[in-house]
Structure 1
């Protein structure tokens, strides 16, 4: 773990970088697809511009390299900023507020600084390893079973780019099986939003099918700092090499994980 003063400097740099990116995010809401990446998958000019801004600001302020969804780079687990300029691009392009800027700093193989900025919901959430979750400048208490009005579990996206590990039949089966538990599945279209919602006490659990670290790292650290249980989708400790994640309060996480393992049985 780096010295606290160094972490504070990195956090200040990210605060400034995300604030500048947020302005562009809001001004370009509804941007049309500009770069087709696959069936139903695209980036807008706003995705590209926001990642360019974040890269420039973070590299200049900290000297640490960047690994981003749109322009790649080298993922260095020893020291690396990880970016998703717009998580939930399809939502963003259609004006759906469930979209976010995700920024995390990986040092020595662990996320140590995380930002999930959800501008259209006016939720600016960040955390530093060992500290509390901070939302709109206010430090939050740890999450607990009583922190959500209803036991909701977020399934950020039914789709997954890892169809071998998470075939469509399994993803759909999980939603149906969760609906038979005490949890109420919700699909937002943004993994980052769902993981942050657990840290904020809005959801009691969230499941990510994403194989990408830029979708998961920020939310994983937020959940850890909120006192939630964090694992991969098979119940192992989450690492930067994990595919997917399950986070939640102890009871909700246990329900989500056992349900996931149940629907995985035919594959195991």
Structure 2
């Protein structure tokens, strides 16, 4: 079987394919998946090219992508690549330079290698389980913040589609509670940004009131390998089956969890 360091290198090379396409291409078509949730021809092209590269580099490993779904090998393989070709597609479409390519190598419910690239910022993040997290070759460490009043917390987008109004009542309540207690609330529009910037210490916490594996898996491993805690709203360690995603530097994790629990 492949060595983990080799697979991490494959992941880094794979996201660079998407990195270059995002930097050099603008969307020609924008297609609606659900209510106000879209994908572009660039999303599809990135997924197609990364899928082809991974099929050649790691033919025994399955693949699942956000736009084209699962490969035939994904059902039988113990290992599966999971790709979000453009995390933050709405930002990309509108020319907002906060979007990224997010790739995770999953073994069952566990992510063992990850790479995230933020093309417009020339930031390349990666991690392997037990091996630390890095950005552009520099080892990452989450912040040492211990007070909510001195913390910046990123929150995920508001809900779209079915039951959005009910879901957003909860999200708006959470936003108000955060605004009353922390230094600043930020909504970047990309879970990849939220989590890798937590790993880098740019933010102190990240809350996503949902759990989409392809959006989150890579960033969660990177955040954890940088020393952050990633929990469900129950307080248990976050898994692919979790309902919510609460990630934070250890010094504010319990405080942030309590705040979320008061809302949900």
TM over 0.5, yes or no?
yes
**What is the distance in 1 between the residues matched to 2:85 and 2:156?**
17
Q: Does 1:242 align with 2:242?
A: yes
SS in 1 for 2:70: coil
Q: Does 1:57 align with 2:53?
A: yes
Corresponding residue of 2:259? 259
Unaligned runs of 5+ in 1: none
Q: Does 1:112 align with 2:106?
A: no
Corresponding residue of 2:88? 88
**CA RMSD of superposed structures (Å):** 2.3
Tell me the CA shift for residue 248 of structure 1: 0.6
Tell me the CA shift for residue 90 of structure 1: 0.4
Bigger relative contact order, structure 1 or 2, given CA contacts below 8 A and separation 6+?
Answer: 2
8 Å contact kept, 2:64–2:82? yes
Deviations 1:143-197 (A, max 9, x none): 4228xxx510001312266858x71110110000011113421111111111111
Give TM-score scaled by structure 2 length. Answer: 0.90
Q: 2:69 aligns with which of 64, 67, 72?
A: 72
SS in 2 for 1:180: helix
**What is the distance in 2 between the residues matched to 1:163 and 1:134?**
38
Corresponding residue of 1:212? 212
Q: Does 1:22 align with 2:19?
A: yes
Tell me the CA shift for residue 81 of structure 1: 0.5
Shift in alpha-carbon separation, 1:28–1:243, aligned structure 2, 3 A: farther
**What is the distance in 2 between the residues matched to 1:161 and 1:109?**
27
Deviations 1:31-88 (A, max 9, x none): 2543210121110111000011111111221121111111111665831101000001
Corresponding residue of 1:123? 123
**What is the distance in 2 between the residues matched to 1:69 and 1:55?**
11
**What is the distance in 1 between the residues matched to 2:43 and 2:113?**
21
8 Å contact kept, 1:116–1:124? yes
SS in 1 for 2:33: strand
Corresponding residue of 2:144? 144
Corresponding residue of 1:38? 34
Shift in alpha-carbon separation, 1:196–1:225, aligned structure 2, 3 A: same
**What is the distance in 1 between the residues matched to 2:28 and 2:36?**
13
8 Å contact kept, 1:158–1:187? no
Tell me the CA shift for residue 208 of structure 1: 1.3
Aligned length: 258
8 Å contact kept, 1:130–1:225? yes
8 Å contact kept, 2:15–2:116? no
SS in 2 for 1:84: strand
SS in 1 for 2:12: helix
8 Å contact kept, 2:170–2:263? yes
Give TM-score scaled by structure 1 length. Answer: 0.89
**What is the distance in 1 between the residues matched to 2:79 and 2:161?**
26
Shift in alpha-carbon separation, 1:58–1:38, aligned structure 2, 3 A: same
48-57 vs 233-242, which moves further: 233-242
SS in 2 for 1:179: helix
